[in-house]
Structure formats: C-alpha cells, structure tokens
Amino acid sequence: MEARCGASRRESRRLTAGQVPQLYIGFPKEVNSPPRVLKGFHTIHLQPDETKDVTFELSRYDLSIWDIMAQAWVAPAPDAEYTLYVGRSSRDLRLTGILKL
C-alpha cells in the first residue's frame, strides 16, 4: 500500500439506503491520462441518520499509468501531486483533496 484516502457518508433522508462511494484520481498534468480515473469503490448500507466511514487503499499501481511504448507501469515524478475525488459518480464528486508523495 502506498496511500490511504478516507471519507464519511451520512444518510440524511428517512430511508434505509445503499450507497456506492467512488474514488477517482486525477494524475499530474505532465502525465498523458484522462482527467479522472476510477480507482476504487465500496458498497455501504445506511440506516436513517447513520454515518459510515469508508477507506480506500491505494497501491503503487493505482498511482501509475500504463505506458504503451514501454509496456510497463510508469509512476509520475516522485514529488508529483495527485488530485483525489470522492463521490457518487464521476459527475457527482463531492469531496476533493490533494495527495503529495
């Protein structure tokens, strides 16, 4: 494991609900990659007014890009900054943070 990312989710409605928090990574601008890449998700079930914590563990492969020419996983520079996004979907990202290695 290289890094950990955590988030909390609270069910504010009066219903029992299932949620799927998703973690997306935005790679440094120098890297030729999509703007955000899905790197993890969890399925959780919440009762009304219940809060649960979710933790995502990131490996070195999660923080790397597949280089087609080299046919290998390549990590950005050691001092690279990644943007982490957590939300319900790629279009509903409610938390954002920066990861510096």
pLDDT digits (tens, 9 = 90+) for 23-60: 999 998 888 888 899 999 999 888 877 888 888 999 98
| Distance separating alpha carbons of residues 65 and 67, to the nearest angstrom | 6
CB 55 within 8 A of CB 46: no
Query: How many separate domains does the chain show?
Result: 1
Model-level pTM?
Answer: 0.81
Domain membership of residue 78 as a residue range = 3-100
What number is the average pLDDT over the span 6-24?
Answer: 73
The per-type count for the chain, helices as H runs and strands as E runs, is 0, 10
Q: CB under 8 Å to 81, separation ≥6 — which residues?
A: 28, 98, 99, 100
| Distance separating alpha carbons of residues 38 and 84, to the nearest angstrom | 10
| CA-closest candidate to residue 86, choices 24, 28, 43, 10 | 24
What does the pLDDT look like over 65-87, one tens digit per residue?
888 888 998 888 788 899 999 99
Dihedral angle sign, alpha carbons of residues 77, 78, 80, 83: positive
- CATH code for the domain of 28: 2.60.40.10
